[in-house]
Amino acid sequence: METPLKSMGQPTPQSFQPGPQPAPGSERPVECSQIAQFAKLDDLLALGRSYSLWPLTFGLACCAIEMMAAGMARWDLARFGAEVFRPSPRQADVMIVAGTVNKKMAPAVKLLYDQMLEPKWVIALGNCALSGGPFNFAGQYGIVEGVDKLFPVDVYVPGCPPRPEAIIEGILKLEEKITGKRHFPVAKLKE
Amino acid sequence: MIARKDSLSAAPDGQGPQETFVLNLGPQHPAAHGVLRVLTTMEGEWIQRAEPVIGYIHRMHEKMGENRTWAKFLPNTSRIDYLSAMHYTHAFVGVVERALKIEVPARAEYIRVITSELNRIASHMVWWGALLSDLGGLTPFLYAFDDREKILDLLEGLCGARLTYCYYRFGGLYNDADDDFLNGTRAFVKHMPPRLRMYRDLVSDNIILRKRLEEIGPISAEMCRRYGATGPVIRGAGVAYDVRRCEPYSVYPKFDFKIPTYPQADSMARYLVRMDEMEQSLRIIDQALDQITAGPFMAPKVPRVIKLPPGDYCYAVEAARGRFMVRIVSDGKEMPYRLKLRTPSFSNLSLFEEASRGMILPDALAMMGSLDLVIPDIDR
Amino acid sequence: MNATLERLTSQFVQLIGPAAVPANLPVRAAAGPHEPATAAAIPAPVPAAAPATVPTAAASAAVATGTPAAPKPAAPAVPPPPPPSPVQVVDHALKGYHFDATVSPDQVVSAASILDREGFALDAVTGVDWIAQSQMEVVYDYFHPVNGLRAVVRTRVNRAEPELATISNVFSGANWHEREAHDFFGLRFTGHPNLTPFLLPEDATFHPLRKDYQP
């Protein structure tokens, strides 16, 4: 459970610490947080964001059914504040890429990602979104081998398809990444 | 109900042709059940032409079939139509058994029938919830998934997977059904009929649903035949075509069940066919549980390395969406020479362009919901 | 035997019989740029495989008189040889279909019309790439929605010039199936309303299920 998250994409509140000033002449863009610091406000915002993640209703294949199941009564994603599925990318914070992305679909997926407003996060759900999964074979002609070839991914959830528990854990990991702190206990495997 | 508009391309006042515009629906659209794209040419509210554009989830199953051995392709079958994985696996193991002339033990056949029918109910529950949420009511979705989870628990205990089961093997099953499964299924068969009655009271008799579905999206038997549409679509047009009856496979001839048909050929007919099918599936499961006997669950002699005699073989099953057929061509090697998957959703969607002409868009989407599409099943 | 199957058999024998010029397939094959050996070999085995499976006497006579047997390739017989008789009634339990007919490429539309009149529905249209014989087999699967019969009609075209007529005028559903077959195998269906990439991206020019396809 302590696997380090791939830190790509958006500045998370961890990076809102007072950082070193960029060296003169460096090409790194100046971030807002380097000029003005609102540490407590940022923490508060991050907490709010992490418990009101609005995922994009974006089902591609098999994993979408498990994503739907995770939102239903039994698994109840609402307990963790991520049940408000939005059909429009303009209203969504987190894109759960649930299924295989093929080369015909890739431009549309990229467009959806670009249409989402900052701050935005991506969960790659299922082996297909991770690496192409079972459809990644020598001589394949159709699929994108991993959605991180298109845009940065925050949380990877393996499985074919991942169980709803895994999806919930993916959401919790994302919340941990946003706030920098895990608020829910880590489930322990039975001996 | 808004009547179907038959005379397009003429303004209501007869002042010459009306302007049309192209409306792109999808490939990411919440009402399209996945990545279906429909290019609609609209004339005001009316559809002049709605052309489905598919291929957004084409996953090369047929190419993969030529690249791996028979056994290695087995997990693929459950990912073609993930909602009725059992049926698809059944067709694939069935075609290999047919080519090798493997006799499957009776117990395995009964367990196959039980699991297939459970899977059919689970699939119809998803369709039911999705159709109703297309029409604007999310509550049934919660009920549907609640019952579906009970089935998934049973099947998970059997084979470890919740959705993409790979339970059947060439000549039998992955493992035997234990008492937990059989008792759990008995309990489920008792649990389900009151729920179905509740669904009828809650939803099927609901005036809003009836207004949205009745006389909407007529698909005649002749149109089904021309397009090769099967499953609840053709049964909703009054034709009792069911592969379980017409090309009997497994032990289905031993069961007494009805093939529900409705002659109205509208969306409501297809809705009612599926609701009745769930009852019939329960009847089949009930009889199978009574008839099942102890015995082996694998055929005694299944070759370790499977090589099929040269030739072509077909095997069709009645999946939740209709007729699914595997056609294989073998050249005697360890891998298929050609593997063709004939999927029901492909044929069922192909009539959409003709059937939706002259409808208003919301009705066309209601009709699309009543076709019960699974997009990876279309694109394969 | 089933009455529908009997009617089908006699109609198909009629269809194939009169057009018995054994040049049907070979001409097309000879027109292709390569494989002269195959082209030469095809006309040879004409009455050799005289069909015994055709049930009615008249029918078998008609077939025996002049129907070309399905092409026997000269190339090494790695793939299975095509069925010996052009019209066969098959045991469903063994093969999964009841009726099997091999016609020449210009007869597929007439074959579809026969099955249409008999009330069959189109199941699928697909190709099989017989690269060793430089041929492309096109398989039409039909099912009957009322009595559940299954019929298969197959034909072979030259692999270099895979062209044959569309049946989408007979069965509207063939439109999509033929587009798919065009995608995968590069089969060109003449007269098809819209033979553009279907499952592949819009700009695709490759045909992935051809055996010589390299990504």
A141 touches chain B (CB under 8 A): yes
Flag whether C108 is in a domain: yes
Bridge partners, residue B360, by sequence: B46
Q: What is the CATH number of the domain that holds C162?
A: 3.30.460.80
pTM: 0.83
Q: Which of B36, B308, B314, B349 would best serve as a mutation to test chain C binding (most C beta carbons within 10 A)?
A: B314
Contact (CB, 8 A) for B361 and B40: yes
Domain boundaries, chain B: 70-306
B127-141, B188-202, C42-56: which has the minimum mean pLDDT?
C42-56
Instruction: Give the pLDDT confidence of B315-339 residue by residue, as tens digits.
Output: 999 999 999 999 999 988 889 999 9
Looking at every residue in chain B, the average pLDDT score rounds to: 88
Nearest CA in chain C to B247: C148
**How far, in whole angstroms, is CA A111 from its chain's centroid?**
16
pLDDT at C43: 37
C76 touches chain B (CB under 8 A): no
Outline where chain B has alpha helix (H).
61-65, 70-77, 85-100, 106-134, 139-159, 179-199, 207-213, 221-227, 232-235, 243-246, 267-291, 344-350, 352-355, 361-371, 375-379
Bridge partners, residue B194, by sequence: none
Q: What is the dihedral of CA A155, A159, A163, A164, to 10 degrees?
A: 20
Q: How far apart are alpha carbons B316 and B306 in whole angstroms?
A: 21
Interface of C with A in 91-150 (CB under 8 A): none
Contacts C148 to B, Cβ<8 Å? 241, 243, 245-247
Q: Which of B226, B243, B352 would best serve as a mutation to test chain C binding (most C beta carbons within 10 A)?
A: B226
**Nearest Cβ partner for B163 among A74, A108, A161:** A161
Contact (CB, 8 A) for C178 and C187: yes
Q: Cβ–Cβ of A104/C200 closer than 8 Å?
A: yes
* pLDDT at B92 exceeding the cut of 90: yes
Share of chain B above pLDDT 70, in %: 94
Q: Which amino acid belongs to residue A78?
A: A
Nearest CA in chain C to A142: C200
Q: Cβ–Cβ of C172/B226 closer than 8 Å?
A: yes
Q: Cβ–Cβ of B314/C173 closer than 8 Å?
A: no
pLDDT at B28: 77
A134 touches chain B (CB under 8 A): yes
Q: How far apart are alpha carbons B64 and A120 in whole angstroms?
A: 35
C64 touches chain A (CB under 8 A): no
Name B14's Cβ contacts closer than 8 Å, sequence gap at least 6: none
Q: Cβ–Cβ of C201/A140 closer than 8 Å?
A: no
Rg of chain C (C-alpha set): 17
Nearest CA in chain A to C212: A139
Q: How far is CA B372 from CA A65, B158, B181, B236, C205, in A?
A: 14, 27, 29, 13, 32
Instruction: Please give the full DSSP string across A87-154, using - where no structure is assigned.
Output: SSGGG-SEEEEES--BTTTHHHHHHHHHHSPSS-EEEEEHHHHHH-GGG--TT--SB-S-GGGTS--S
- Residue C129 φ then ψ, to 5°: -95, 105
Contact (CB, 8 A) for A54 and A86: yes
For residue C17, the enclosing domain spans 3-26+83-190
**Nearest Cβ partner for B338 among C128, C175, C198:** C128
Instruction: Measure C200 CA to nearest chain A CA, in Å.
Output: 7
pLDDT band at residue A6 using 50, 70 and 90 as cut-offs: very low
Q: How far apart are alpha carbons B321 and B345 in whole angstroms?
A: 7
C78 touches chain A (CB under 8 A): no
**Nearest Cβ partner for B63 among C139, C146, C208:** C208
Contacts C198 to A, Cβ<8 Å? none
Chains linked to B by 3 or more Cβ pairs within 8 Å: A, C
Q: Which amino acid belongs to residue B66?
A: E
pLDDT band at residue A8 using 50, 70 and 90 as cut-offs: very low
pLDDT at B128: 92
pLDDT band at residue B189 using 50, 70 and 90 as cut-offs: very high
Chains linked to C by 3 or more Cβ pairs within 8 Å: A, B
pLDDT band at residue A190 using 50, 70 and 90 as cut-offs: confident
pLDDT at C79: 55
Nearest CA in chain C to B61: C209
pLDDT at A25: 54
**B70-306 has CATH 1.10.645.10 classification:** yes
Residues of chain C with pLDDT under 50: 19-77, 82-83
C208 touches chain A (CB under 8 A): yes
Read off the pLDDT of each residue in B279-292 and give the average, rounded to a whole number.
92
Q: How far apart are alpha carbons B188 and B282 in whole angstroms?
A: 9
pLDDT at B4: 54
Name the burial class of residue C19, with classes exposed (0-12), middle (13-18) and buried (19+) by CB atoms within 10 angstroms of its CB. Answer: middle
Contacts C80 to B, Cβ<8 Å? 310-312, 329-332
pLDDT band at residue A72 using 50, 70 and 90 as cut-offs: confident
More confident residue, A77 or C63: A77
* pLDDT at B170 exceeding the cut of 70: yes
Q: Cβ–Cβ of B142/A65 closer than 8 Å?
A: no
pLDDT at C25: 37
* Domain tally, chain C: 1
* pLDDT at B361 exceeding the cut of 70: yes
Crossing angle of the two packed helices B139-159 and B179-199, in degrees rounded to 10: 170
Instruction: Measure A139 CA to nearest chain C CA, in Å.
Output: 6
